[in-house]
Amino acid sequence: MTFGKRFRQLRKERDLTQKELGKIFNLGESTISFYEADKRTPDYAALKNFADFFDVSTDYLLGRSNIKAPAPTTCALHRTDGYDENLPPEAQKELEDYIEFLKHKYGKK
């Protein structure tokens, strides 16, 4: 799935026209059309704004993942789950990634 196809799908899920979505982001209807046709790509800031607006991860928006949900901003594990807050940040990130992998593997979103 390309960015354009995924972008169009998300717009339609929100029942928005290209013109309406363009107004939300102060973009022309033709810019939205070019994005959906994969003739243009948004810059990093626009991509992030689109992902926030549609409540999806940038990887999902770019077609790199089929997991819609954005990554959690804090560790998903808690002390009662065996989480050790003394783990270094990179270990916490590995745990978060593994949890997301398991959710995807077993169909939990």
What is the DSSP code (8-state) at residue 26?
Answer: T
Q: Is the pLDDT higher at 82 or at 21? A: 21
CATH number for the segment(s) 3-61: 1.10.260.40
pLDDT over threshold 90, residue 98: no
- In this prediction, residue 96 carries a pLDDT of 80
Residue 63's SS3 state is: coil
- pLDDT score of 108 more than 50: yes
Q: What's this model's pTM, rounded to 2 decimal places?
A: 0.64
Q: What percent of the chain has pLDDT over 90?
A: 55
| 18 and 28 Cβ atoms separated by less than 8 Å | no
Rounded mean pLDDT, 37-63: 93
Q: 77, 99 in Cβ contact below 8 A?
A: yes
For the chain, give every domain's residue range.
3-61, 71-109
